Amino acid sequence: MFLLIDAGNSRVKIACHDGSHWLLRSALDDVTQLLASLPAGFRPQRILIANVAGPAMAERLQQALAGFSAPVEWLQASATRCGLRCDYAQPAQLGPDRWAAAIGAWQQLRADCLVVCAGTATTVDIVRQPGIFAGGCILPGLDLMLEALSSKTAALPRAQGCLPVEALLTPPTETHAAIRTGCLHAQLGAIERMVALLPANAPILLAGGHAEALAPHLGARARLQPWLIMDGLLAIATESGKNATTGESS
């Protein structure tokens, strides 16, 4: 039994897996809901956490999990894990969410791909054969871009509404659409420039709260993978469980 936690800047996602099937995958509004959200009788044997929300979140998670005796791993990126090598000079600098998403992508495809996590921040990372995390870029997420324009300028509003796919084909003729179009172009531009570094037709895997807003503009290469970080955490947890049994190092 595995309890997997992805603690991001906006939401905390949890997942439970029994070794064969997902028992639960859910997003929480508050960490205090964690125990009440678990399946009845669920007692994890391993707990794996990717936390990018800082020390205060770590403390709250520790308090929420205090009743479990299962070992807890606070994920950090490393030189290698689950068949993926990290090309960072100092792997520990890489966010655990990006590392888990890259591992999830590699476990799923075993091929060149672009991994996009579009949340509070947008991360755009390259995974290459034969199993290399080749790095990537970080930019403000869509909401942060919109918020920055409204809070740091005197005349621009907080843009409202959503844009149909065809809206990007013509210049906007009103301010709200101009702001949303500009921010969306910025997100898509980063993705398109990064995917151009990969072979033609390499897939783009999209996770995060804004993934659905980006996917329609990226064509057939785009694949929505809302639980990609959880897929990576599961691969790490199961590998760790095997190594704990055999005494091997991961």
Give the residue numbers annotated as catalytic, written as ranges: 97
Mapping DSSP to helix (H, G, I), strand (E, B) and coil, where does residue 128 land? strand
How far apart (Å, rounded) are the C-alpha atoms in residues 250 and 248?
7
User: Known binder of ligand: residue 10?
Assistant: yes
User: Known binder of ligand: residue 124?
Assistant: no
**Distance, C-alpha 207 to centroid of its chain:** 6
User: Known binder of ligand: residue 101?
Assistant: no
User: Known binder of ligand: residue 242?
Assistant: no
End-to-end CA distance of the chain: 19
How far apart (Å, rounded) are the C-alpha atoms in residues 45 and 73?
12
User: Known binder of ligand: residue 13?
Assistant: yes
User: Known binder of ligand: residue 223?
Assistant: no
H-assigned helices in 25-95:
34-37, 55-64
User: Known binder of ligand: residue 143?
Assistant: no
- The residues near 215 (Cβ < 8 Å, ≥ 6 apart) are 206, 222, 224
User: Known binder of ligand: residue 95?
Assistant: yes
User: Known binder of ligand: residue 88?
Assistant: yes
Backbone angles phi, psi at 95, to 5 degrees: -60, 140
User: Known binder of ligand: residue 29?
Assistant: no
**Which of 227, 197, 50 shows the shortest CA–CA distance to 137?**
197
User: Known binder of ligand: residue 245?
Assistant: no
Count of residues for the chain?
250
How far apart (Å, rounded) are the C-alpha atoms in residues 33 and 131?
37
Q: Which residues are annotated as a binding site?
A: 6-13, 88, 95-98, 120, 175
Q: Which residues are annotated as a binding site for ATP?
A: 6-13, 120
Q: Which residues are annotated as a binding site for substrate?
A: 88, 95-98, 175
